Structure 1
Amino acid sequence: MTSDQRCPCRSGETLAQCCGRHLDGAAAPTAQALMRSRYTAFALGDPEYLSDTWHPSTRPSSIELDPEQRWLHLTVESASGGGPFDTDGIVEFTAVYRTPAGRGELRERSRFVREDGRWYYVDGDVS
């Protein structure tokens, strides 16, 4: 994917204007921006970014992505807190994917914390 193509998170912006800058090291300003960039990391196959943005208290020792899972689109259902001056936030979303077994949906209520000016994914409830 090139930086002038539409971002996988479906914000309507290009990858460079949206999640690409976070994947390149710029801190996400909100929990929702971090969640969108993490979705983009899944879509682009970037486990290093996923690990770097996962809170150390809950981060797995390794992240293995399924090369046969293709992420199709993201819908943000709601967000609570998670603003530039908050210390925590919740983002609920639905992510649609396809595997060789067919199409599926991941619905999650994700929790985020902001420490030292950076947002981190803590954990989530999947339904």
Structure 2
Amino acid sequence: MASPVLALRRAILDVAEADAKLKALMGGSVRLFDEPPRAATPAYALFGDVKAADWSTDFDRGHEQRLDLVVWSERGSARAALATAERLAALLDDAPLTLEGHRLVNLRVAEIASQRDKDTQLVRVTIRLRAVTEVA
């Protein structure tokens, strides 16, 4: 059985890759990675921090996940980063995702926060998600 974290990541990636508007915002293809790609130019997004906690009941085994998606954009492109993050948030908030080995109870966007990286001056927008999953 796939881990609930990996199952949710795969489902998020599948939804993102199927969206033409998101592709256009990211320069023609969805660029959502586990790690920053070498020599990649923004805009791209990364799977950020994740925390999965037990959410089991007497009858079902489950997890509450809190995970971040981080959108990076070039200097002076706060608008582009925010537009990309907003599109991702719209796609994912309360989305009926299909997870391998798990059932998604709910998925909500908990927060969207924008910052400018102090070292590179690149714009970073973090989308914080909360998901509850049960073992299928």
TM-score class normalised by the smaller sequence: 0.3 to 0.5
TM-score w.r.t. the length of structure 1 is 0.41
TM-score w.r.t. the length of structure 2 is 0.39
**Greater relative contact order (Cα < 8 A, sep 6+):** 2
Q: Higher Cα Rg: structure 1 or 2?
A: 2
